[in-house]
Amino acid sequence: MDFSELLAAMTPAAGGFAATIPENWMQGRTTYGGLTAALCLEAVLRAHPDLPPLRSAQVSSIGPAGGSVVVRPEILRRGKSVAFVGADLATDAGLATRAVFAFGAPRNPAVSASFMPPPDFPPPEQIREPRKDRMPPFARNFDMRYLTGGKPFSGSSDCDLFLWVKHADDRATSLPALLALADMPPPAIFPAMPNVGPISTINWGVNFVGDIAPTGGWFLMETRAETAADGYTSQDMFVWKDGMPVMAGRQSVAIFL
């Protein structure tokens, strides 16, 4: 099932919306984190269609998710210009994902500036496509072109990865689709790891910093490792569209070796 079909199949449920996550969106024993974040955002937008533009998202991965899930959105606070809305995604086993979204109406800015110029890379059409049969199931829902960074699990110190990414589903152009896409780059620490091992996102924070009108096509992404210690790593993440920044984030990832 592709992304747009999955979201279209969401139905009202007690206090929220129900969805069924198929095997092709799994990442080990749980669902690809970008998808659970997108399901939370989709439920919020359906329940509260009059919200101002999305400004930030905080997503915590609390437990494994898969199969039948229910997402329950809740207004936490709504002021004159900013609204905070929570969403819990749960399975029969309990809470799997908790998200908090901040929506804010535009204001007259005293400062308008961007300090995130994108590097100059060849367009994705000029980059060789990786073999999808070597990717985990969830990754096959995206098209990718690797640009820079060390080879995964090679012990390399080059942990600053750039790549082009887009949904394989051309109909995936919504705001939840953009949030799902933003989690696609592999953990930046992968090149430094000496061998293959499972990983699990703990917390993911994203700021929407530019024009976030629904759109598809290719996005330029960077994920850069900051630290790794005690089985955890912290990384920065950036997303550009047509040379303009659209998202900036930070993620905490657990490493199991």
Q: Which residues of the chain have pLDDT under 50?
A: none
User: Is residue 121 one of the residues assigned to a domain?
Assistant: no
Ranges of beta strands (E only) in the chain are 11-13, 16-21, 26-27, 30-31, 54-61, 67-78, 82-91, 94-104, 142-148, 160-167, 199-208, 219-229, 232-241, 244-255
User: Is residue 124 one of the residues assigned to a domain?
Assistant: no
What residues contact residue 50 under an 8 Å CB cut-off, 6+ apart?
Answer: none
Tokens in use for 248? 């900036």
pLDDT value of position 91: 96
User: Is residue 230 one of the residues assigned to a domain?
Assistant: yes
Q: Which amino acid, one-letter code, is at 173?
A: T
User: Is residue 110 one of the residues assigned to a domain?
Assistant: no
Q: Distances in Å between the alpha carbon of 173 and those of 7, 158, 251?
A: 12, 32, 24
Number of domains the chain is built from:
1
User: Is residue 233 one of the residues assigned to a domain?
Assistant: yes
pLDDT value of position 211: 66
Instruction: Give per-residue pLDDT as tens, 65-98.
Output: 999 999 999 999 999 999 999 999 999 999 999 9
User: Is residue 215 one of the residues assigned to a domain?
Assistant: yes
Distance (Å, rounded) from C-alpha 54 to C-alpha 38? 13
Distance (Å, rounded) from C-alpha 219 to C-alpha 83? 28
Instruction: Give per-residue pLDDT as tens, 95-132.
Output: 999 999 999 999 887 788 888 889 999 999 999 999 88
Per DSSP bridges, beta strands 232-241 and 244-255 are antiparallel
What residues contact residue 90 under an 8 Å CB cut-off, 6+ apart?
Answer: 69, 70, 71, 72, 96
User: Is residue 200 one of the residues assigned to a domain?
Assistant: yes
Report the predicted TM-score, pTM, of the whole model to 2 decimal places: 0.95
CATH number at residue 192: 2.40.160.210
User: Is residue 117 one of the residues assigned to a domain?
Assistant: no
Domain housing 77? 3-105+130-255
